[in-house]
């Protein structure tokens, strides 16, 4: 067991990937000499060389497009998109090529490409640096989409993503980058696409992922002080969604609240609410509620506390759910 930040955990996971597979490459803007703007790839270029940890030109479509070409050649690129709001220039290559090419080929081509994207708000950043674009990618068949919420998952999930023969969009909650926790590097606790019950309870289920897992856990701790036991499920995988634990939890509690930073309309919460209503209708004591970012562009940072789901908004939703 070692205690490390999420950044160190990702760095250690990537290091293992580069050690174990000589076809693995890291590529992106500033990932080499600088070690990435968040230092996730710190010292990897020094240790593995500029042929394997590649500082690319500043062009996101180019990063993904050439990663596809490298994958066609047998390489396994792990790309970094520097910030959530800068992924859009690569959208065409991600959606029309990375997601579809294996299917187009009739399964003869596999594209083991990982795209790491630091995402989410809460860091006081300027525009384009706090977004949560995960639903675009979860909506796109052919991509797998995951997100880690703590250092242990960061360490294991990046390794599992790198081992996947399917393309994986890997969202990293940047406001959790510096949170420390123990990481057991001996054995993966879960598969890449498994959801996990991170706190057990009976009164209602909070469904969260990435940065909002911590929000949900804090809300559950506060509720517990008032004698209310909330269950918290960390989705971990946004595509595919691991429905079993969600449905099992809802059948137990009868109430669910989905919490995410992305705007609510047609976000992950919409799909989760619809699906749980279809699957668990007779277990529901209340409609599935959503606590999300508002349907506005991410606001100026002085307003982000009002925009982001927080403990109070979550507990308010819990109250509303219990009132049904």
Cα 183–185–188 angle (5° rounding)?
A: 95
Q: Report the half-sphere exposure of 93 (CA within 13 A, side-chain side).
A: 20
Contacts of 10 (CB under 8 A, 6+ apart): 40, 116, 154, 155, 158, 172
Report the residue number, 75 or 83, with the smaller CB distance to other proteins.
Answer: 75
Q: What is the DSSP secondary structure assignment for residue 97, as one 8-state letter? A: I
**According to CB under 8 A, which residues from 73 to 112 bind other proteins?**
73-75, 89, 92-93, 96-97, 101-110
Q: Which of 193, 236, 255, 290 binds other proteins (CB under 8 A)?
A: 193
What is the spatial distance between Cα 136 and Cα 96, in angstroms, rounded to a whole number?
13
Contact status: 62 vs other proteins (CB under 8 A): yes
Task: Tell me, residue by residue from 153 to 192, as one string, x for binding to other proteins by CB under 8 A and - for no binding.
Answer: -----------xxx--------------------------
In contact, 260 and 293? CB cutoff 8 Å:
yes
Report the residue number, 104 or 180, with the smaller CB distance to other proteins.
Answer: 104
In contact, 161 and 146? CB cutoff 8 Å:
yes
> Is 129 one of the catalytic residues?
yes
Q: Which of 21, 37, 39, 61 binds other proteins (CB under 8 A)?
A: 61
The count of residues interacting with other proteins (CB under 8 A) is: 44
In contact, 64 and 79? CB cutoff 8 Å:
yes
CB of 296 to other proteins, least distance (A): 28
CB of 5 to other proteins, least distance (A): 31
User: What does the block give as tokens for 62?
Assistant: 């180019």
Contact status: 303 vs other proteins (CB under 8 A): no
Q: Where along the sequence are the contacts to other proteins (CB under 8 A)?
A: 51, 56-57, 59, 61-62, 64-75, 89, 92-93, 96-97, 101-110, 141-142, 144, 164-166, 193, 239-241, 243
């Amino acid at each position: 067991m070692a205690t490390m930040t999420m950044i160190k955990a990702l760095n250690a996971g990537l290091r293992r990937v580069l050690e174990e597979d000589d076809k693995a490459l890291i590529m992106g803007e500033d990932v080499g000499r600088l070690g990435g703007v968040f230092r996730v790839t710190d010292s990897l270029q020094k240790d593995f060389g500029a042929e394997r940890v590649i500082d690319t030109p500043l062009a996101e479509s180019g990063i993904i497009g050439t990663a596809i070409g490298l994958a066609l050649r047998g390489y396994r690129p792990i790309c970094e998109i520097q910030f959530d709001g800068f992924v859009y220039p690569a959208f065409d290559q991600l959606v029309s090529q990375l997601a579809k090419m294996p299917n187009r080929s009739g399964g003869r081509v596999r594209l083991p490409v990982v795209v790491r994207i630091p995402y989410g708000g809460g860091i006081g950043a300027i525009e384009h640096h706090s977004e949560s674009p995960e639903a675009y990618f979860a909506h796109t068949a052919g991509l797998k989409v995951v997100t880690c919420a703590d250092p242990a998952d960061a360490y294991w999930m990046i390794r599992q993503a790198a081992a996947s023969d399917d393309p994986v969009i890997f969202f990293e909650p940047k406001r959790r980058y510096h949170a420390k926790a123990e990481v057991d590097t001996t054995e993966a606790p879960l598969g890449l696409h498994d959801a996990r019950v991170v706190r057990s309870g009976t009164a209602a289920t909070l469904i969260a992922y990435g940065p909002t897992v911590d929000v949900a856990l804090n809300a559950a701790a506060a509720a517990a002080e008032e004698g209310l036991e909330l269950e918290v499920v960390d989705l971990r995988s946004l595509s595919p969604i691991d429905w079993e634990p969600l449905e099992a939890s809802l059948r137990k509690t009868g109430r669910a609240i989905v919490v995410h930073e992305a705007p609510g309309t047609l976000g992950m919460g919409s799909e989760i609410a619809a699906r749980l209503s279809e699957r668990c209708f007779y277990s529901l004591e209340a409609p599935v509620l959503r606590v999300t970012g508002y349907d506005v562009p991410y606001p100026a940072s002085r307003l982000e506390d009002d925009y982001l789901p927080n403990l109070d908004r979550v507990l308010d939703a819990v109250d509303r759910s219990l009132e049904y």
